[in-house]
Amino acid sequence: MALSKITRVDGTGSYTFEEYPSIPGGRSDLSLPLDFEAYRIEHKRNNVIIERTNIETKYWWNLFFRNISQAMIESLQVLAMEGKLYFYPDSSSPTYYVVYWISKFRAKYVRGGKYNLSVTLLQR
């Protein structure tokens, strides 16, 4: 299994993780989904269902990067400015999720010139 990666929707600006972020189980393919929600709308007339539709399905990824370099912070900062991204849990697999970076980009400086960063990705 390869490392996870994030790319722009047009396929450019690919960023492959240097190492797995700290997530439950230590592997991004085993941590999906953290939360899952499906919404169903039912249209009724005289208590008879005319149409039923699933309108939204969401996956959330809460990633925590610890002790990462300045170069990694800069790469992630550029991707965080995009409206929509592709998230590949396994970069060697063609399976991806269309995600939005919904957390504020707030890297925290730690000793030794490294940073900690918390990232929340939402599939919509």
- Each residue of 45-57: pLDDT tens digit? 888 888 777 656 6
User: Three-state DSSP class for 71?
Assistant: helix
pLDDT tens for each residue of 20-31? 554 544 555 444
Q: What is the pTM of this model?
A: 0.65
Would you say 110 and 104 are in contact if contact means Cβ atoms under 8 Å apart? no
Distance between CA 35 and CA 55 in Å, rounded? 17
CA 122, chain centre distance (Å): 6
